[in-house]
Amino acid sequence: MGKIAFVFSGQGAQHPGMAQDLIERYDRVADLFAAADRIRPGTTEQCLRGTQEELKQTENTQPCLYLADLAAAIALEEEGIVPQALAGFSLGEIAALAFGGAFSLEEGFSIVCRRGQLMGEANRQADTGMVAVVKMENAAVETLAQQFDRVYPVNYNCPGQLVVSGAKDSLEAFSVAVRQAGGRAVPLAVSGAFHSPYMNDAAEAFGTFLQQKNLRMPEIPVYSNCTAQPYTEDIASLLTRQMNHPVQWENTIRRLAKEGFDIFIETGVGTTLKKLIQKTLPDALIYAVETAEEAAAIGQEVLSHV
């Protein structure tokens, strides 16, 4: 055992107080938040004391979670944990690329701010949402989704869980059909239909924005949501494509396992990715780090396995 992958959280588990003890404990984390405030004034205050409703808005969620993701990764690094691969779920992929060296942490923050802004604007163009379907095979969910207008399978999370995006009225009818088919449909705490055609205009604008950035191949391999493979081609095109195409998370985790990774640490907020990986790789060592206490304790435990 001993190959470590950091996996960076996506949206959904955000809450007030994110990263507060990490800011207090680690100077590098405090410096990161200070730099973010210079780019987007008030971000630290929003992370620590914003309301749940405020943090649910994607323009706010994405910058705050980006910082929380990186704060936990920096804390682990300060505790002596060095990953050999990185992956991030949706917006977490930008944190993974920044941590891996594709661009500076500050540049990544400006990128994620623009991404959140564009996706927020797209959300206001239509009444949309996302629903996680569980207890059904992917093929059955895909077939059922085809029977509804404006419903799209988008996040292939783990065995028995596929998230769909779409118009809220269509999702309501779709959710009834899911229950009738023996599955469960769980609404997600997000404000739009991410990774679907509803993001087409946002993706096009984001691609134009990224062309102005100096992006480079990361020093640590980063696995793409779109391909479930390490980045080997233009970063801008894959990040653009990610916005309006499905997230291949289960395939990403299986690919990492095939390449010998057996220790996974979720960095950021909540335990969503930890739970998804447990369902995909029940024999792997899987952790989640959100606080300074967890970083120190898990850091010591992981070091005992490498």
147 three-state secondary structure: coil
Options 195, 196, 224, 245, the catalytic residue:
195
Task: Name, in order, each residue with C-beta under 8 angstroms of 71's C-beta and a sequence gap of 6 or more.
Answer: 19, 22, 23, 26, 29, 32, 33
User: Which amino acid is present at 210?
Assistant: L
List of E strands, 55-183: 85-88, 128-134, 151-158, 161-167
197 three-state secondary structure: helix
Alpha-carbon gap, residue 263 to 43, rounded angstroms: 32
207, 236 Cβ separation under 8 angstroms:
yes
129 three-state secondary structure: strand
305 is catalytic: no
192, 123 Cβ separation under 8 angstroms:
yes
Please state, as a whole number, how many other Cβ atoms lie within 10 Å of the Cβ of residue 252.
26
Q: What are the start-end ranges of the H helices in 41-137? A: 43-49, 52-56, 58-78, 92-100, 105-123
Maximum C-alpha span of the chain: 53
Options 90, 165, 175, 191, the catalytic residue:
90
90 is catalytic: yes
Per DSSP bridges, beta strands 222-223 and 184-187 are unpaired
162, 138 Cβ separation under 8 angstroms:
yes
Alpha-carbon gap, residue 290 to 71, rounded angstroms: 8
Identify the helix (H) or strand (E) that includes residue 258: helix 249-258
Q: Which residues belong to the active site?
A: 90, 195
